[in-house]
Amino acid sequence: MSLAARIAWDDTILPFQLDRADIRGRVARVDSVLDRILGQHAYPEPVAALVAEVTLLAAMIGQTVKLRWKLQLQVRGNGPVRLIAADYFAPTEEGEPAKMRAYAAFDAEALEAAEGPAFGMLGEGLFGVMIDQGAGMAPYQGITPVAGTSLADCAETYFAQSEQLATRFALAMGQAVEPGKEPHWRGGGVMIQHLPKASPFARQDASGPDGLLAAEDMLDGDDAENWNRAVTLLGTVEELELVGPHVGTEALLSRLFHEEVPRVYPTQPVEFGCTCGPEKVVGTLENCTPEELAELTTEDGVITADCQFCGAHYEFSPDELGRPD
């Protein structure tokens, strides 16, 4: 398969609907986006895995927001990994690419001493979804506990608990190696979600992690049967199918759900993008205390700041911040 053919579905999100099962979903590939996010930070392996997972989740969840809106996923924990954040900026116009960025904050010493799976490095914490609808609109925020054994579990719990929507994810990510080229990150995933009902059904007893709601708590009858069938089909997906590069998004969708009558919608391209800039950085620094600014000031009196998302470096004089020398 040629490089041109592989590029055709890299860094895209394909929305779809399963008409037979009353289920919607997305197939996502975030390849150069993920490679840019992880390549510029050189995160330790557990942190890179968590950032990759949050980036994939943000891509699939964010694709549903309207033009010019912003969706952010934030995971905060009390373990060695303190924060993971991923932003999805919806296009300003139809047909334009969405933009994504992500970063993590962690305690390097505590991380080096810790053992176990990457998810365990978060400890106890919160999984949050924030949607910014633009100027003059109140942002939406939903928060649920970190639960389960993966960030995908956290997202499924969030939708069950906060939106009463049965949701399931299949994710894969890793570094691909091609002859004569540097290793590069590839990531892919599939999300399925039962379409909302006018009057959501939910059992009184929650069967999910930590006593929270799960998908099976919201469906009964034919809905439950259709959902279980779709989940079973999704469970047959292989990691190499998710990350490619030899299986396109539509081919994967057809392979998994051809009997469910999949209907696809226009593909959404994505690219790395950061909204930082001198004005925004100045606005942030103006809210810092004198003690915080002192930590950012060089011996020459220059105030410095780095963007956590893209690594851009900024330098300002005290006058530019309206501060005396």
Q: How far apart are CA 154 and CA 142, in angstroms?
A: 12
pLDDT of residue 110: 96
pLDDT above 70 (res 228): yes
At residue 310, what are phi and psi to the nearest 5 degrees?
A: -110, -10
Segment 68-80 mean pLDDT: 96
pLDDT at 112: 94
Is a pLDDT exceeding 50 seen at residue 210?
Answer: yes
The answer, yes or no, to whether residue 5 has pLDDT greater than 50, is no
Residue 259 predicted with pLDDT over 70: yes
Name the band, by pLDDT with cuts 50, 70 and 90, for residue 322: low
Q: What is the pLDDT of residue 168?
A: 97
Angstrom distance (rounded) from CA 33 to CA 286: 31
List of E strands, 107-225? 125-132, 140-145, 167-176, 184-194
H/E run at residue 304: strand 303-306
How many Å apart are CA 147 and CA 14, to the nearest integer?
Answer: 28
pLDDT given at position 136: 82
Percent of the chain with pLDDT over 70: 94
pLDDT at residue 321 tops 80: no
**3-class DSSP assignment, residue 196:** coil
pLDDT at 9 over 90: no
pLDDT digits (tens, 9 = 90+) for 126-165: 999 999 998 788 889 999 999 999 999 999 999 999 888 9
10-272 CATH pick, 3.30.2350.10, 3.55.30.10, 3.40.50.720, 2.60.40.10: 3.55.30.10
Q: What is the pLDDT of residue 324?
A: 52
Q: Report H helices in 175-236.
A: 221-234
CATH code 3.55.30.10 region(s) in the chain:
10-272
Average pLDDT along the chain: 88
Rounded Cα gap, residues 90 and 39, in angstroms? 23
Stretch 86-95: mean pLDDT, rounded? Answer: 94
- Mode of pairing for the β-strands spanning 184-194 and 23-29: antiparallel
Q: What confidence category does residue 2 fall into, taking pLDDT thresholds of 50, 70 and 90? A: very low
Q: Provide the CA 143 distance to its chain's centre, in angstroms.
A: 15
Q: Give the relative orientation of helices 151-158 and 45-62 as an angle to the nearest 10 degrees.
A: 30
Read off the pTM.
0.88
Residues 6+ apart with CB under 8 A from 218: 160, 164, 165, 166, 194, 200, 201, 202, 203
- pLDDT at residue 304 tops 70: yes
pLDDT tier, 199 (very low <50, low <70, confident <90, very high otherwise): very low
Task: Please list, in sequence order, all residues whose beta carbon lies within 8 angstroms of the beta carbon of residue 48, skipping any fewer than 6 positions away.
Answer: 38
pLDDT (0 to 100) of residue 251: 94
| 38-47, 168-177, 197-206, 234-243: least confidently modelled range | 197-206
**319 against 276, higher pLDDT:** 276
Confidence of residue 79 (pLDDT cuts 50, 70, 90): very high
Residue 248 corresponds to which amino acid? G
Residue 4 has pLDDT above 90, yes or no: no
pLDDT on residue 145: 96
